[in-house]
């Protein structure tokens, strides 16, 4: 799973989240750090309103939380979502001899680049951060 620090960096870099069933997220709250939630039609639903998306908690018995603004949630994209966001730039994912993961991408007009991390999801995130930076450069 992606680290919250990598997810936060993706958010700050401009990655937009459109909540869907199966998406995982954490709440930006010191009391709830480490808790991960999954959007599901049965437990947590995304309710789009003109003022923004609200994540509604259905039938939660552990604590009284009815809903939170999307801005109070941090999307924790899965590996498949990160790979999809890399699109045609993605070339490969490999595990190194020391147990780290490396993602190879080819960005238009640049040589292939390798991004490494301790988890596959964080390696994908590092590559996606570069893709977002390049997109920002090009306007």
- Alpha carbon separation from 44 to 9, 15, 41, 55 (Å, rounded): 24, 22, 6, 6
Residue spans of alpha helices (H) in 20-138: 79-86, 120-138
Q: How far apart are CA 45 and CA 58, in angstroms?
A: 8
**Structural domains of the chain, ranges and CATH numbers in brackets:** 18-75 (no CATH), 79-138 (3.30.160.20)
- Mean pLDDT over each residue of the chain, to the nearest integer: 88
pTM of full prediction above 0.95: no
Q: How far apart are CA 31 and CA 94, in angstroms?
A: 36
- As a whole-number percent, the residues of the chain with pLDDT over 90 amount to 60
Average pLDDT over residues 87-96: 97
């Amino acid at each position: 799973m992606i680290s919250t620090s990598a997810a936060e960096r993706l958010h700050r870099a401009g990655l937009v989240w459109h909540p869907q069933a199966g998406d995982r997220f954490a709440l930006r709250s010191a009391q709830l750090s480490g808790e991960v939630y999954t959007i599901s039609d049965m437990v947590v639903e995304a309710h789009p309103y003109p003022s923004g998306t609200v994540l509604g908690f259905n039938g939660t018995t552990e604590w009284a939380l009815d809903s939170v603004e999307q801005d109070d949630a941090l999307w924790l994209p899965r590996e498949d979502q990160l790979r999809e966001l890399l699109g045609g730039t993605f070339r490969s994912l490999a595990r190194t001899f020391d147990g780290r993961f490396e993602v190879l991408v080819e960005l238009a007009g640049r040589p292939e680049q390798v991004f490494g991390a301790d988890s596959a999801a964080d390696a994908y995130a590092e590559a996606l951060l570069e893709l977002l930076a390049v997109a920002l450069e090009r306007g």
